[in-house]
Amino acid sequence: MDSAWTHTTVLLGEAVGALLKLQEDGAAGNVPGVYVDATFGRGGHSRLVLSKLSSSGRLIAFDKDPEACSDGICITDDRFSIRHMSFCHLDDLQPSSVAGVLFDLGVSSPQVDNPARGFSFQSEGELDMRMDPTRGQSVAQWLAVAEVTKIAEVIRDYGEERFAGPIAKAIVKRREMQGPITTTTELARLVADTVKTRESGKNPATRTFQAFRIFINAELEDLQHALTAALKVLQPGGRLVVISFHSLEDRMVKLFMARHSREVFDRRAPFAAPQVMALKVLGRVRPSVAEVAANPRARSAIMRIAERIVPGVFSC
């Protein structure tokens, strides 16, 4: 599907190389096995993975966004399939059946750049922010009824915004005086008028928009479930590769990998054998200076890599 909004895939070669265990020279490869692109987006990672797979290889993609899935069904490759669903449904796959799982978290450029999707404070559009606009409440619908304490909690917890309380009160006051906020620019102006101390080089609405997007799409809850599911479906030696773009996601991924990469002792049974670790952490990768210069949206990306070493033994 052609789109006026394009997406530049971040850490493309590095992510696919880590996922498929390719040599640093980037040879075409003839890699067998089943792989998962848990966040298809516009298919940058998927297309490169397919170019490296053997004829018996297989790639399964997931995406909440129907527009992304429309792009996916245009890939005419019998080794590829795409599912219109959240990556939290990874556990629909068979245990220990997958050689690698890739997550490229966050929002894509076509979602941000299309004003109709309501993700950006830079363009006028309906205040939506749903990854899948066919399901659930939009941000505008939620803000029309949410209590001030809940709004403040969301802004504080998901946006790490120190002015969460005043912003929430301003939103509710505006709702009571003039009716609910319905557009992105209305929300951006209200936040700008409320936040008196601004971070250098950052729009004052950035954290609030991030918070509402994460909340309305249940992004952190889905990620926690999906990481656990990935551990179940990975076979011994299978790779878990996760690219994140903000601290909440990266912290969750880092802690998950750390927790499953060490032996766990039960203090209630000091002489019992420890629970064996399930992952080996292989490191993290940041975009190169050249990539950030070519694509400024890559600047906050962190890619973490781990490998499954013990099937079927892990803590939840």
At the topology level, CATH places domain 132-216 in DNA polymerase; domain 1 (1.10.150)
* CATH code for the domain defined by 12-109+219-308: 3.40.50.150
Q: What is the pLDDT of residues 70-112, one digit of tens each?
A: 888 989 999 999 999 999 999 999 999 999 999 999 887 788 8
How far is it, in rounded angstroms, from Cα 143 to Cα 247? Answer: 25
Domains of the chain, by residue range, sit at 12-109+219-308, 132-216
Q: State residue 28's pLDDT score.
A: 59
The pLDDT of residue 314 is: 44
Return phi, psi of residue 102, to 5°. Answer: -115, 130
**Least confident window among 46-50, 96-100, 183-187, 297-301:** 297-301
- % the chain with pLDDT above 90: 73
2 — pLDDT class (breaks 50, 70, 90): very low
Strand order of the β-sheet with 302-308 is 80-84, 58-63, 34-37, 98-104, 234-244, 302-308, 279-285
- pTM of the shown model: 0.89
- Going by pLDDT thresholds of 50, 70 and 90, the confidence category of residue 138 is very high
- Taking residue 134's Cβ as centre, other Cβ atoms within 10 Å add up to 9
The per-residue pLDDT for 24 is 46
Q: What is the pLDDT of residues 246-268, one digit of tens each?
A: 999 999 999 999 999 976 545 56
Measured distance CA(94)–CA(118) in Å, rounded: 36
For residues 51 and 77, what is the distance between their CA atoms, to the nearest angstrom? 10
Q: What rounded mean pLDDT belongs to the chain?
A: 89
* Environment class of 22 (CB within 10 Å of its CB; exposed 0-12, middle 13-18, buried 19+): middle
